[in-house]
Chains A and B, each alone.
Chain A
Amino acid sequence: MKTLERVLLDHPFTQGLASEYVQVIAGCATNVVFEAGKVIFREGEEADRFYLIRHGRVALEIHMEQGPIVIQTISENDVLGWSWLVPPYRWRFDARALEVTRALALDGTCLRKKCDDNPAMGYELLKRFTLVLEERLQATRLQLLDMYGHKERKPK
Chain B
Amino acid sequence: MTTPLLENAAAAWEPPVLEPQEAAPMLPRPYVVNRVRQETSDTFTVELQSADGAKPFRFKPGQFNMLYVLGVGEIPISICGDPSRPDTLVHTTRAVGVVTRAMRRLKPGDVLGVRGPFGSAWPIEEAAGNDVVIVAGGIGLAPLRTALYNMLHERQRYGKIVLLYGTRSPNDILYRREVEKWRSHFDLEVYVTVDRASDRWRGNVGVVTSLISRAPFDPLSTVAFICGPEVMMRFAVLELQKRGVDAQNVYLSMERNMKCAVGICGHCQFGPWFVCKDGPVYRYDVIEPFFGKREV
Contact = CB atoms under 8 A, between A and B. Distances in A.
Interface of A: 57, 59-61, 67-73, 75-77, 96, 98-99, 135, 138-139, 142-143, 145-156
A40 to B, nearest CB: 14
B256 A69 contact: no
B78 A69 contact: no
A148 B138 contact: yes
Contact of B205 (A70, A76, A147, A156): A70
Nearest to A63: B199
Contact of A155 (B78, B195, B205, B232): B78
* Residue of B96, B139, B195 contacting most chain A CB atoms (<10 Å): B195
| Majority SS at the chain B contact face | mixed
Contacts of B207: 139, 142-143
Nearest to B76: A155
B255 A139 contact: no
A98 B202 contact: yes
Given A57-B204, A70-B201, A71-B205, 9 more contacts: A59-B199, A69-B197, A70-B196, A139-B209, A147-B137, A147-B138, A152-B255, A154-B253, A156-B142
A152 B256 contact: no
A91 to B, nearest CB: 17
Interface in B238-296: 253-258, 280
Which A-B residue pairs are the 3 nearest by beta carbons?
A: A154-B255, A148-B138, A155-B64
A154 B280 contact: yes
| Majority SS at the chain A contact face | mixed
Contact of B229 (A59, A68, A73, A152): A152
Contact of A72 (B65, B202, B205): B205
B135 to A, nearest CB: 13
B222 to A, nearest CB: 20
A154 B172 CA distance: 18
Contact of B195 (A61, A67, A96, A148): A148
B231 interface: yes
B196 A143 contact: yes
Contacts of A148: 137-139, 166-168, 172, 195, 228-229
B210 interface: yes
Nearest to B276: A155
A147 B232 contact: yes
Contact of B199 (A70, A77, A143, A149): A70
Contacts of A57: 204
Contact of B232 (A67, A142, A153, A156): A142
B76 A152 contact: no
A77 B214 CA distance: 9
B94 interface: yes
A152 B94 contact: yes
A149 B168 contact: yes
Interface string B62-82: 001100000000001110000
Contacts of B168: 146, 148-149
Contacts of A68: 198-199
A70 B198 contact: yes
Interface in B131-149: 137-140, 142-143
Contacts of A99: 202
B93 interface: yes
Nearest to B62: A155
B95 to A, nearest CB: 10
B13 interface: no
B25 interface: no
A142 B229 CA distance: 11
A152 B198 contact: no
Contacts of A60: 205
B130 interface: no
A70 B143 contact: no
A4 to B, nearest CB: 24
A77 B216 CA distance: 14
